[in-house]
């Protein structure tokens, strides 16, 4: 089954994966007593729908450099749709004899089986490339700069990716010739060519593309994006005219948007019912015992599309006139003793789950700033407003990476913006779950800037 010539056996992995997954689905459907009136119709329905939703979700588009969180995201999305089409069968074909309970058991077994084998194959392939050295793809790099050197480090260190780096050609070297590069590529049977766009002229790029096409080589480009906080570009066609968009935001996809919204509603409702219902009266009593003023603190902040909304927190400061102008600092005299505790444990943020439930915020997203600060940073920090393409969050990637609380230096806000942009361009439901787990861990471990 495994061919070793230039790692080309990868082409068999997707059809084999299709066959294995469909085989498991049909095997479980056959042996579980679901009480099917027409088993053949059910089997055909399963095969047809599984293939359709797999293509729609790119379920089998897993590359050698794909990360595990994306695998989890693919599984989650695939089985959300599979659950819907599974129970839709009863209504479509009037199969009233089917046991709903057994159908639910069938769904769980399918999810566990497919997930197990998909992750197992992913892990075994990585081990096969790293330990045995199979499924390799030989590469050369044309260009000599920071980005090409980083790419070469990836080739050499991430052995599980299965890249065998052969040679770097510097355009700046005396006597550099594309013809010499081509001869080397042919002689060493190189599979993939990586080119730095910043160092090559248009005619050279055209020459490389022509060579790759004529010799069945894969050619890829490293963009000169040192001033762009992004790694995703979207390629589209307007009629027959190719258009390159600067960024592709996953949450612009309606399926992703409603998936995240459903998660937000369920998660926020859980916190409101099972945590805030009993914790709020206790916190309220402690706040009122120490200082006069309201239990909740309302502050207008900028959300999606920079629209203003009232963001709620438990009041952690004595009532003051600077609350909408001045950010809390270390040793801030405005913070009460109770306030210091609830800020340290992030309990003061819990009322924002109402903002999430009402659709003004998300559980995970870029942290919203005060209106005054948004206007300030929009002028000072390049690409700051990009973070407003999505809903703000109670927690976010920047926060779990250490950029929460007070902004002490310019680098704090710049790095926060970089992480926020990375998040909105690389969102997956698995990434949200990972950030939530890390946020909870940080609460128990304590953070230096939680004040």
Q: Is there a single domain that holds both residue 17 and residue 160?
A: no
Q: Which residue has the higher pLDDT, 157 or 324?
A: 157
Q: What are the tens digits of pLDDT across the range 241-295?
A: 555 565 678 888 777 888 899 999 999 999 999 999 999 999 999 999 998 889 9
- Tell me what the mean pLDDT of segment 107-117 comes to: 94
Residue where a domain stops, chosen among 77, 108, 132? 132
Residue 367: CB atoms within 10 Å: 21
Contact 131/184 with Cβ under 8 angstroms? no
Contact 382/226 with Cβ under 8 angstroms? no
Q: Is there a single domain that holds both residue 81 and residue 123?
A: yes
- Give the DSSP per-residue string, 145-203: SHHHHHHHHHHHH-GGG-EEEEEEE-TTSTT--HHHHHHHHHHTT--EEEEEGGGS-HH
Cα dihedral 327, 328, 333, 336 in deg (nearest 10): 130
At 9, give phi and psi (nearest 5°).
-65, -10
Q: Is residue 200 part of a domain?
A: yes
Q: Is residue 352 part of a domain?
A: yes
Q: Is there a single domain that holds both residue 312 and residue 438?
A: yes
What confidence score (pLDDT) does residue 128 get?
86
pLDDT band at 9 (very low <50, low <70, confident <90, very high): very low
Q: Which residue has the higher pLDDT, 65 or 48?
A: 48
What's the number of domains the chain is made of? 3
For 188, the domain range is 137-226
Q: Is there a single domain that holds both residue 78 and residue 41?
A: yes
pLDDT surpasses 80 at 447: no
Q: Is there a single domain that holds both residue 351 and residue 273?
A: yes
Q: What is the distance between the alpha carbons of residues 29 and 35, in angstroms, rounded to a whole number?
A: 10
Q: Is residue 262 part of a domain?
A: yes
Q: Is residue 433 part of a domain?
A: yes
Residue where a domain stops, chosen among 132, 162, 177? 132
Q: Is there a single domain that holds both residue 153 and residue 55?
A: no
For residue 443, the SS3 value is helix
Q: Is there a single domain that holds both residue 153 and residue 122?
A: no
Q: Is residue 393 part of a domain?
A: yes
Q: Is residue 25 part of a domain?
A: yes
What confidence score (pLDDT) does residue 386 get?
86
Q: What are the tens digits of pLDDT across the range 212-234?
A: 877 778 888 887 655 444 445 66
Residue where a domain stops, chosen among 176, 210, 226? 226
Q: Is there a single domain that holds both residue 125 and residue 148?
A: no
- Give the DSSP per-residue string, 352-388: HHHHHHTTS-EEESPPP-BHHHHHHHHHHSTTGGGGG
Q: Name, in order, each residue with C-beta under 8 angstroms of 387's C-beta and a sequence gap of 6 or more.
A: 366, 417, 420, 421, 424
Q: Name, in order, each residue with C-beta under 8 angstroms of 412's C-beta and a sequence gap of 6 or more.
A: 403, 406
pLDDT surpasses 70 at 148: yes
Q: Is residue 147 part of a domain?
A: yes
Q: Is there a single domain that holds both residue 152 and residue 119?
A: no
Q: Is there a single domain that holds both residue 183 and residue 51?
A: no
Q: What is the distance between the alpha carbons of residues 403 and 449, in angstroms, rounded to a whole number?
A: 8
pLDDT surpasses 70 at 193: yes
Q: Is residue 22 part of a domain?
A: yes
Strand 308-314 and strand 362-364: pairing?
Answer: unpaired
What confidence score (pLDDT) does residue 232 get?
57
What confidence score (pLDDT) does residue 1 get?
29
- CATH code, 185: 3.40.640.10
What confidence score (pLDDT) does residue 229 get?
46
For CA atoms 269, 273, 274, 277, the dihedral sign is: positive
Q: Is there a single domain that holds both residue 167 and residue 33?
A: no
Q: Is there a single domain that holds both residue 30 and residue 121?
A: yes
At 217, give phi and psi (nearest 5°).
-110, 150
């Amino acid at each position: 089954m495994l061919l070793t010539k230039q790692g080309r056996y990868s082409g068999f992995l997707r059809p084999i994966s299709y066959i294995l997954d469909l085989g498991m689905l049909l095997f479980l459907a056959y042996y579980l007593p679901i009480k099917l009136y027409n088993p053949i119709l059910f089997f055909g329905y399963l095969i047809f729908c599984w293939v359709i939703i797999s293509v729609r979700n790119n379920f089998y588009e897993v590359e050698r450099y794909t990360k595990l969180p994306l695998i989890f995201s693919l599984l989650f999305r695939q089985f959300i749709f599979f659950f819907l089409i599974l129970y839709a069968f009863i209504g479509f074909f009037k199969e009233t004899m089917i046991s709903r309970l057994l159908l639910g058991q069938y769904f769980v077994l399918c999810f566990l089986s497919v997930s197990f084998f998909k992750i197992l194959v992913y892990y075994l392939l990585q081990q096969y490339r790293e330990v045995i050295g199979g499924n390799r793809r030989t590469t050369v790099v044309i260009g000599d700069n920071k980005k090409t050197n980083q790419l070469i480090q990836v080739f050499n260190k991430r052995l599980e990716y299965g890249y065998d780096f052969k040679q770097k050609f510097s355009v700046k070297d005396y006597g550099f010739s594309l013809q010499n590069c081509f001869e080397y590529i042919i002689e060493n049977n190189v599979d993939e060519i990586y080119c730095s766009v910043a160092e090559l002229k248009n005619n050279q790029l055209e020459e490389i593309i022509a060579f790759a096409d004529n010799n069945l080589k894969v050619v890829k480009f490293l963009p000169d994006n040192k001033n762009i906080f992004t790694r995703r570009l979207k390629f589209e066609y307007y009629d027959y005219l190719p258009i390159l968009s600067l960024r592709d935001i996953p949450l612009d996809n309606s399926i992703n948007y409603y998936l995240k919204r459903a998660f937000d509603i369920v998660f926020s409702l859980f916190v409101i019912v099972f945590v805030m219902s009993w914790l709020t009266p206790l916190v309220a009593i402690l706040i009122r015992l120490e200082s006069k003023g309201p239990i909740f603190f309302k502050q207008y902040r900028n959300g999606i599309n920079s629209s203003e909304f009232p963001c709620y927190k438990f009041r952690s400061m004595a009532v003051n006139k600077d609350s909408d102008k001045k950010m809390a600092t270390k040793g801030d005299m405005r913070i009460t003793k109770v306030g210091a505790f609830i800020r340290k444990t992030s309990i003061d943020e819990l009322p924002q789950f109402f903002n999430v439930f009402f659709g003004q915020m998300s559980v995970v997203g870029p942290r919203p700033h005060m209106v005054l600060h948004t206007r300030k940073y929009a002028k000072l920090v390049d690409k700051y407003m990009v973070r407003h393409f999505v809903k703000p969050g109670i927690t976010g990637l920047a926060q779990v990476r250490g950029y929460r609380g007070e902004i002490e230096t310019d680098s704090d806000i710049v790095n926060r913006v970089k992480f926020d942009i990375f998040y909105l361009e690389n969102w997956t439901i698995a990434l949200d779950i990972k950030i939530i787990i890390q946020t909870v861990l940080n609460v128990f471990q304590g953070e230096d800037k939680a004040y």
